[in-house]
Amino acid sequence: MRFLGKNIVVTGGTSGFGEAIVKAFTHEGGTVYFCGLLDAEGQRVEAETQNATGQAIYHHCDVRVESSVEAFINHAVEQTGHLDIAVNNAGISHVAARFAEQEPAMVEDVFQTNVMGIWYAMRHEIPHMLKNNGGTIVNTASILSKSGAEWMAAYGTSKHAVVGLTKSAALDYAGDNIRINAVSPGPMLTPRFERALKDIGGDMSKFAGGFPKGGPADPSEVAKTVLYLTSDEAGYTTGANVIVDGGASSG
């Protein structure tokens, strides 16, 4: 019950990492407002947390649009009174292709979602945390934030940017009791992973970023790390990029 009485927002909470994170917080007593674009999936996650100690409430939001992000965050704060924790998880990938074959429109969509979506979220989360005398934020990056990304240049570059903005914001607000960190998952059993595997014909040797010897993990492994980073146990951790990949990127 580390998060009993805590008010939390999660972007991209309708599947994969985000869904696991929403459920983990509610099982430890948190009140979670989460968003996404797939309303049916959002309602499903809501229903599946009905018996948890905490509560999960879905809100439709397009993180590519700042006004939509602002409305989501403000609605959550209006309902709960304050904001303690934010997990900015919404993101998209793209079809594998070599650098020069990646269309500018696709690259712009990836950046607008993966980078600006987090920028907009933090821009509207941080003022609420300042009023609350502190808070914690975790942004979802990727193991492709620490190396080159063969066939996945747009995605990999966007995740480098996520780590950069995380570290910069962490420095800006370290004196205000706001901790900001990133988590970088490796291959996990998510819909996005399944699409990526299909895209490369099931050939694990082509999986960008490396593949863990134990195979892909359950998204709950990412959720455990996020809950640690947002808990009091990580009270002296800010500006970090925590790798959760079963050693895939260590070779």
As annotated, the active-site residues are: 142, 155, 159
Which residues 6+ apart lie within 8 Å of 136 measured at CB? 84, 85, 86, 178, 179, 180, 181, 229, 230, 234
Other CB atoms within 10 A of residue 251 CB: 6
Give the SS3 label for residue 17: helix
Task: List C-alpha distances in Å: 123 to 54, 177, 179, 212.
Answer: 26, 16, 14, 35
**How far is the C-alpha of 186 from the C-alpha of 73, rounded, in Å?**
28
Rg of the chain over all Cα atoms, to the nearest angstrom: 17
Identify whether the C-beta of residue 120 lies closer than 8 Å to the C-beta of residue 66: yes
Indicate the residue type of 107: V
